[in-house]
Amino acid sequence: MKILVDEMYEGYDDKLKEKGFTNVESVKKLINSGMKLTSDFSVLNYARDNNMVLVTADVENIKGCIENNMPCVAVSKTIVLETIVQ
């Protein structure tokens, strides 16, 4: 499974790699490498074109995934906080 971590969760790609996930990319790192992924539309297209699961809390991206039948992990700040505290 390939995973794309949305911009608001920068650094989670590294945490996933530490846990053994090898096919993980970060929107922020892709942007820093020169890719044009500054719009939700571009992020969704990149995830779709590369058969990736998008990890995001962005409501518009979540809606886009649902509308386009794309795999998505909707993460809330509460879930992230609970995970960190555990």
> Quick one: average pLDDT of 10-39?
93
Give the integer Cα–Cα distance in Å for 86 and 62.
26
Residue 84 has pLDDT above 50, yes or no: no
Tokens of 65: 């995934």
Q: What is the rounded CA–CA span in Å between residue 80 and residue 55?
A: 12
pLDDT beyond 70 at 80: no
Instruction: For 31-59, write each residue's pLDDT tens digit.
Output: 999 999 999 999 999 999 999 999 999 98
Percentage of the chain surpassing pLDDT 70?
88
DSSP E strands, the chain: 2-5, 24-26, 52-56, 72-74
pTM for this model (two decimals): 0.85
Residue 69 phi/psi, 5-degree rounding, is 55, 45
Domain of residue 27 covers: 2-85
The structural domain count of the chain equals: 1
Q: Distance from CA of residue 47 to its chain's centroid?
A: 8
pLDDT at 75: 85
